[in-house]
Structure 1
Amino acid sequence: MRVAVVGTGAIADSHRAAYQAHHEDVDIVAAADVDETRVRAFCAETGQAKPYRDLDTLLAEQEPDLVSICTPPGLHVEQTKKVLESGAWVWCEKPPCRSLAEYDEMVAAERDGGPYASFVFQQRFGSSATHFRTLLADGELGRPLVAHCQTTWYRDAAYYAVPWRGRWETEGGGPAMGHGIHQMDLLFHLIGEWAEVRAMTARLVHDVETEDVSTAVVRFESGALATVVNSVLSPDEVSRIRIDCEHATAELTHLYGYGVKDWRYTPAPHVAEGAAARWHTPADDVPSSHAAAFTPVLAAYRAGQRPPCSGDDGRRVLEFVAALYKSASTGVGVHRGEIGPGDAFYRSMAGAETGAGA
């Protein structure tokens, strides 16, 4: 597979590492960035990639099979459509885009059998998350009943000095959109479809348009309830998911990535001694990472099939974010499937009739 990267800022290093982890199957042939010094430095790290200043020239000259999009969210829809129209697949950083309208516009540019656009929700792909899903499917943990999803990080004023951050038009949202989206996607991956959300947001510290903290209560289709907290105001930074099931509590505590050691299982009092022995030990320990997330994308490309984190599967968490913002704005609960083309929150997470995605 011939791959290219557009946008060579910090997150592009994770894409390069993912491709280099699959070096027997992948060649990084090119990269593009408006910053010539940055793109040349990135290409030098690959040892062979050719630097470009614009995506159009890269696509025309290199004809890559897949392009990583690592640019700010406001550029994702235009660049994704351009790459898909060239015939190449897309592997795009989160958040996928600024609105549900933009997401649907990107999906409309796909073709049956490919090319497809997949989005980077790498938290799903640690082996210990797969292990939890297996235990749940086998009935060993019982039904999920109560959950907590926490992304409480810290970002200072210098972080928001980057012009596109903290603005609805260019970032699409605050920490619910740009930070907590990973843990929320993982929560849904672990315990299923959400059905309703009631939320509040606030701007307590930073001089930005978007929120800097949000809280939400979520009802799942199964009947389970969860709390979700996203913050960039928290000096003691942590990412955490806790799921209380009938027979056990499962808890994942980490920051930006996890392995087996970051999971803890506590059996309920009625669970027989020794029955929970295999809960703690997956068959292997594959940490969550871009490299792990790329593995199924590569397999889907070879098979000509839709990859995970694309289509309806990639849209689920973005719809939840839109519903969270709508609930916070209106003060009422929002149900899944409620936000469609006639809804202001379909075209902008801010709920404006014009703006991002309009």
Structure 2
Amino acid sequence: MFKVAIIGTGLPWKTEGATGFGMSRAHAPGYAKSGKCEIVALSDLKETSMTEFNVDFCNGKARQYTDYKQMLAAEKPDIVSIATWPHLHAEMTIGAAESGVKAIHCEKPMAGTFGEARRMAAVCAERGVQLTFNHQRRHLPAFQTAKKLIAEGAIGELTRLEGSCSNLLDWGTHWLNMFQMLNGEAAPLWVMGQVDYRKPHQVYGVIHDTDGMCLVGYENGVHGLLCTGETAEKAVGCSIKAIGTEGTLELHNTAPHICLRKGSTLEELTGAETEGGLHGGFANHDNVVDLVNALENGTKPLCDVSNALATTEIIYACYESARRRGRIDLPLTIDDHPLVALVASGAYPATAP
């Protein structure tokens, strides 16, 4: 049995005092489902939330700590789940890796700056720690079906990917990660984009764009375009669109979740092929099961740090493109969050930093 420790127990989504989704509550059932893990310790600043989590998921048996560093030193867990706000991810991931854990499963987005994201990946690689991020939609049947259809040539040769969501960093990390998967994990080569900050907008303590456009060029010639903001879906017509030489594949938030368009023909996919739609919560559990199996078998998990870092690089390159007003060739070497710097510089005078 792997010993698991969780940092950030939170509260259930939309309950009194909750400041987020309480994503550790989506991790815990996955550890139980794996049949190979025991949650032995919890860490959170709030004793009450820890106690409630302990009762709900650990039969009250997990030991509780308000200092995660003390927990890591005392418990020496095999696996650590991190479900805190993004600006804490790097510190906690690096601390866990240096404490000797075997695997770390962290919430997305990776970090509040690109430099932090790179350091997280580097430290875990140096210490042989398996690092995964909760881009759980890779496990949903709808995206797996879409990937299979594209690979089988259902739309001919893939030429372009388009997507729409509310912002680049918090939500866009999911959709750009899906671009990576649907495009066969082809490496991004360059990014060009523009973002707006029309009103103060933070998600879990990190500044986000209110509107944006992110254009990505991949090594296989495919282009990706992500539009963000309140009206982004009108620009794209769906959540994600894969355009090929012989047809178009559309993924929608509401059923039918997959539409295959070829000429005047429209095929709508439902049932097992699209179970859970684009947001099924069970994917969080399957993601944890996958990382546990990968740790046991020495295989590469589906939500490995490699694709998470590629996704994060695109996001920060788009912000950097807005700062430099030009195309950004990868690899990206900056350490900061360019949008934070732009706002602080007064680049968006209609808003207060």
Contact 1:308 1:314 (C-alpha < 8 Å) held by counterparts = no
Contact 1:242 1:250 (C-alpha < 8 Å) held by counterparts = yes
Amino acid at match of 1:14: A
Is 1:38 the counterpart of 2:49 in the alignment?
yes
Note the C-alpha offset of 1:351: 7.6
User: Using a 3 Å threshold, how does the CA distance of structure 1 residues 234 and 350 change in structure 2: closer, same or farther?
Assistant: closer
Q: 2:66 aligns with which of 37, 41, 53?
A: 53
Equivalent residue, structure 1, for 2:8:
7
SS in 1 for 2:252: strand
Matches of 1:126 and 1:147, distance apart in 2: 19
SS in 2 for 1:30: strand
Equivalent residue, structure 2, for 1:211:
209
Equivalent residue, structure 1, for 2:120:
106
Amino acid at match of 2:315: V
- 1:239-298 per-residue CA deviation (whole Å, 9 max, x = no partner) reads 71011212321111128xxxx9522212235x8x9xx79x77766847562112223211
Matches of 1:299 and 1:268, distance apart in 2: 43
1:199-278 alignment runs, 5 A limit: 199-206=193-200, 210-231=208-229, 240-254=239-253, 261-269=256-264
Matches of 1:229 and 1:284, distance apart in 2: 24
Matches of 1:294 and 1:223, distance apart in 2: 33
Matches of 2:256 and 2:3, distance apart in 1: 35
Matches of 1:284 and 1:253, distance apart in 2: 11
Note the C-alpha offset of 1:195: 2.8
Matches of 1:261 and 1:119, distance apart in 2: 28
Matches of 1:319 and 1:313, distance apart in 2: 10
Q: Which runs of 5+ in 2 are unaligned?
A: 11-21, 345-353
Contact 2:155 2:243 (C-alpha < 8 Å) held by counterparts = no
Is 1:293 the counterpart of 2:276 in the alignment?
no
Contact 2:201 2:209 (C-alpha < 8 Å) held by counterparts = no
Contact 1:3 1:68 (C-alpha < 8 Å) held by counterparts = yes
Is 1:187 the counterpart of 2:187 in the alignment?
no
Matches of 2:272 and 2:298, distance apart in 1: 30
Is 1:85 the counterpart of 2:80 in the alignment?
no
User: Using a 3 Å threshold, how does the CA distance of structure 1 residues 113 and 198 change in structure 2: closer, same or farther?
Assistant: closer
Amino acid at match of 1:266: R
Equivalent residue, structure 1, for 2:349:
none
Equivalent residue, structure 2, for 1:95:
109
Amino acid at match of 2:314: F
Query: Percent identity at matched positions?
Result: 22
Matches of 2:338 and 2:142, distance apart in 1: 33
Note the C-alpha offset of 1:45: 0.7
Q: 2:168 aligns with which of 173, 176, 181?
A: 176
User: Using a 3 Å threshold, how does the CA distance of structure 1 residues 202 and 112 change in structure 2: closer, same or farther?
Assistant: closer
Note the C-alpha offset of 1:115: 2.0
Aligned length: 316
User: Using a 3 Å threshold, how does the CA distance of structure 1 residues 20 and 61 change in structure 2: closer, same or farther?
Assistant: same
Amino acid at match of 1:329: R
1:23-172 alignment runs, 5 A limit: 24-46=35-57, 47=59, 48-88=61-101, 89-110=103-124, 114-152=128-166
Note the C-alpha offset of 1:327: 0.9
Contact 1:205 1:233 (C-alpha < 8 Å) held by counterparts = no
Note the C-alpha offset of 1:112: 6.9
SS in 1 for 2:40: strand
User: Using a 3 Å threshold, how does the CA distance of structure 1 residues 264 and 205 change in structure 2: closer, same or farther?
Assistant: same
TM-score (norm 1): 0.78
Is 1:348 the counterpart of 2:346 in the alignment?
no
User: Using a 3 Å threshold, how does the CA distance of structure 1 residues 99 and 5 change in structure 2: closer, same or farther?
Assistant: same
SS in 1 for 2:6: strand
SS in 2 for 1:329: helix
- 1:88-145 per-residue CA deviation (whole Å, 9 max, x = no partner) reads 1110001111233222222232257942221111111112322222222233331112
Q: Which runs of 5+ in 1 are unaligned?
A: 153-174
Matches of 1:231 and 1:49, distance apart in 2: 42
Matches of 2:9 and 2:98, distance apart in 1: 22
